[in-house]
Amino acid sequence: MRVNCKIVVIAVCFGVFLLLYFFGGNAADEPPLKEVEEDNSYQSSYELGNKVASKLIIKSHDELHVPPKQQLTERSKERKVINIGRNVNAKSRPRADARRPVSRHARGEEIMHLAVVTCGNRLDETLTMVKSALLFSIKKIKFHIFAEDPLASQFEKELNQWPRAVSAKFQYSIYPITFSVGNAEEWKKLFKPCAAQRLFLPVILKEVDSLLYVDTDVLFLRPMDAIWAFLKAFNSTQLAAMAPEHEIPKIGWYSRFARHPFYGVTGVNSGVMLMNLTRIRSTLFENSMIPGGLSWENLLHPLYQKYKNHITWGDQDLLNIIFHYNPECIYIFPCQWNYRPDHCMYGSNCKGAEDEGVSILHGNRGVYHDDKQPAFKVVYDAIHDFPFEDNLFQSLFYPLQTKFLETVNTLCGRLPQVFLKQVEKTMRTMYEKKVVHRGKPPQK
């Protein structure tokens, strides 16, 4: 009898537990759907907008130039856009959202900031970089484009012609080239026209917390979100992240020729540079001139004065000098995040790219525009020629793969997986999302 009672009690407890579990489990699935529905109503998105706004006050006043209501419409517009290249079925969109965790909505969307400096005839190249960032990225991007005069209006014209589905995924500001300290003409001459501008980003973009700076000849083969995530991996003293200038000291430029201090064994390359501007603005940097350190803003000009006769690569050399004296401030990411001809033209020396493929391609030495390294050029051409609204696999990846096979006899084309592995993975992820999304039978 007693035993029976016990069994009944246990069974009842178990039943209650199952019920709780079931409801609890369901509850965990439900709210996002509700939230998405609510999001579309004015009230709650407005609240959400406010939440985002208050977050942005701390982070960036920039976004606040958009009045809350407008922000709202932009935000809901954005929600209707999935990744470019899918034939978006607007009705099924909320379901895709619904499967995401709650927190993503509740916290509001973080905006990624991407800065580029462009002069001369770099319009097309820069637009292709911007396009590659937009094709694969998940979070919204704000572009900060520093451009010489005739270019600025051309940019605006081109960007405004992009399809609506694309323009909902980004915002942009165009700025003139300006130098806050020292002699502007001297700074402009320092490197390629206007490249020294990047040193002044922390001073000019005072409202931006963090950004990714890239050269115009950079292409994203993977969502920008992935490199953005390195910002969160910084320890308490790190404020910038770059890749080594070279993998092999014996053939690296700095290790052989530099007549000034530089970071680490081979120096760093500044073509892809993550910066926590908030930290850069609040840090005193050690240097060889003034004990106790100088703020970034006050450091640049004396540093330039001291080293100008010893530097070859302009502002990248200044960055190397700064991080030589402040090594605890830099985070080094591996070469597949800034993959250059140097990584393959003397034989393959970027292990990370061999293993997982290139994440960010950096076609310096003008390789997108001549025939010296066709492996780089075919990637550039594929992205450049991709018609925005088409299927990514059909109109980007397959043609790229076919063209790439023609380069396998060149030094850089020898290992196709280096160039193709990551981009294929990116495409596959996007494609699978679409198939799951479409192929799923309507529930209940």
Ligand X SMILES: *[C@@H]1O[C@H](CO)[C@@H](O)[C@H](O)[C@H]1NC(C)=O
The binding site for ligand X (CB under 6 A) comprises 209-210, 231-232, 235-238, 276, 278-279, 327-328
Which tokens is 6 given? 């016990």
- Cβ neighbours of residue 5 closer than 8 Å, sequence gap 6 or more: none
Is the CB of 44 or the CB of 278 nearer to ligand X? 278
Q: Minimal distance in Å, beta carbon 264 to ligand X?
A: 10
Least Å distance, CB 355 to ligand X, is: 22
Handedness of CA 57, 60, 62, 67 (dihedral sign): negative
Q: Residues 406, 205: contact at Cβ < 8 Å? A: no
Residue 328 and residue 237 in contact, taking contact as beta carbons nearer than 8 Å? yes
> Shortest Cβ distance from residue 352 to ligand X (Å)?
17
Nearest residue (CB) to ligand X, 71 versus 283: 283
What is the DSSP track for 209-258? SEEEEE-TTEEESS-HHHHHTHHHH--TT--EEEEES-S-GGG-HHHHH-
CA distances 215 to 189, 237, 354, Å, are 17, 25, 23
Q: In this complex, which beta carbon is closest to ligand X, that of residue 208 or of residue 344?
A: 208
Q: Which is nearer to ligand X, 71 or 276 (CB)?
A: 276
Residue (280 or 400) nearer to ligand X, CB: 280
* Closer to ligand X by Cβ: residue 110 or 354: 110
C-alpha to C-alpha distance for 83 and 388, rounded to whole angstroms: 11
Tell me whether residue 263 or residue 376 sits nearer to ligand X (CB atom).
263
State the minimum distance, in angstroms, from the CB of residue 209 to ligand X. 5
Please state, in angstroms and rounded to a whole number, the distance separating the CA atoms of residues 225 and 114. 11
What is the pairing mode between strands 294-295 and 330-332?
Answer: unpaired
- Closest C-alpha among 180, 120, 176 to residue 144: 176
Burial (0-12, 13-18, 19+ Cβ within 10 Å), 213: buried
Nearer to ligand X, 275 or 400 (CB): 275
Shortest CB 279 distance to ligand X, Å: 5
Complex with ligand X: residue 75 or 279, whichever CB lies closer:
279
Shortest distance, position 228 Cβ to ligand X, whole Å: 8
Q: Which C-beta is closer to ligand X: that of 231 or that of 268?
A: 231
H-helix or E-strand spanning residue 335: none
Report in angstroms how near the CB of residue 263 gets to ligand X at its nearest.
11
CA–CA gap between residue 231 and residue 120 (Å, rounded): 31
Min separation Cβ 277 and ligand X, Å:
8
In angstroms, what is the minimal distance from the CB of 166 to ligand X? Answer: 25
Q: What is the Cα–Cα distance from 171 to 145, expressed in whole angstroms?
A: 11
Minimal distance in Å, beta carbon 329 to ligand X? Answer: 8
Nearer to ligand X, 47 or 328 (CB): 328
Alpha helices in 81-163 (DSSP H): 93-98, 102-106, 123-136, 149-160
DSSP state of 441: P
Burial of 168 (0-12, 13-18, 19+ CB in 10 A): middle
Residues whose CB is less than 8 angstroms from the CB of residue 259 and which lie 6 or more positions away in sequence, other chains included = 310
Give me the least distance between CB of 26 and ligand X, in Å please. 35
**Helical ranges in 253-314 per DSSP H:** 253-257, 277-282, 296-307
